């Protein structure tokens, strides 16, 4: 039982130090989640700008960024976004509701930690940024631009 307490203190002290350092410099919230989408059938990569609180369409996916946070420059680079991703079936009628296929946090530094499992699409977080211009709520293929631009 003594080893448990020794191990507990050995782990607790560095964790408390990290928490204290993190309290001094808080992560900032971005207004746009910058995502990368891969269509596995065509091998096309697209950069998707998803404004927080608005839906963006990427192929059959409907992506909603609920939150986007980024560490300040003084800390290890990290961006994370809470995403809700829904998919329309390929044979969807106009009044068909999409099926939720992912809901959770995605991290730019560890995309495999919480990944979208879909046979056609891969979506990952690249960054969070501030955008002064509001984007339209739902427009097919809104926020898409070719990779490398």
pLDDT tens for each residue of 81-106: 999 999 998 887 888 899 999 999 99
Residue 43, by phi and psi: left (phi above 0), alpha (psi -120 to 50) or beta? left
- What pTM value is reported for the model? 0.68
| 48 neighbors 34 (Cβ within 8 angstroms) | yes
Percent of the chain with pLDDT over 90: 52
Looking at per-residue confidence, does 72 or 33 come out higher?
33
Task: In whole angstroms, give the CA distance from residue 43 to residue 37.
Answer: 10
| Mean pLDDT score across all residues of the chain | 78
Give the model's pLDDT for residue 26.
67
Percent of the chain with pLDDT over 70: 70
| 147 neighbors 47 (Cβ within 8 angstroms) | yes
Q: Which residues touch 144 (CB under 8 Å, ≥6 apart)?
A: 37, 46, 47, 48, 58
Residue 60 buriedness (CB in 10 A; 0-12 / 13-18 / 19+): middle
């Amino acid at each position: 039982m003594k080893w448990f307490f020794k191990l507990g203190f050995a782990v607790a002290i560095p964790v408390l130090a990290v928490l204290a350092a993190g309290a001094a410099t808080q992560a900032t919230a971005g207004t746009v989640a910058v995502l990368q989408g891969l269509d596995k059938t065509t091998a096309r990569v697209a950069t998707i700008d998803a404004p927080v609180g608005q839906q963006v369409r990427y192929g059959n996916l409907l992506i909603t960024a609920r939150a986007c946070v980024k560490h300040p420059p003084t800390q290890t680079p990290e961006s994370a976004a809470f995403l809700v991703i829904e998919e329309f079936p390929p044979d969807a009628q106009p009044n068909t509701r999409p099926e939720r296929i992912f809901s959770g946090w995605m991290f730019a530094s560890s995309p495999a930690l919480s990944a979208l499992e879909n046979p056609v699409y891969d979506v990952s977080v690249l960054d969070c940024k501030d955008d002064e211009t509001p984007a339209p709520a739902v427009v097919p293929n809104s926020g898409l631009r070719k990779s490398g631009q």
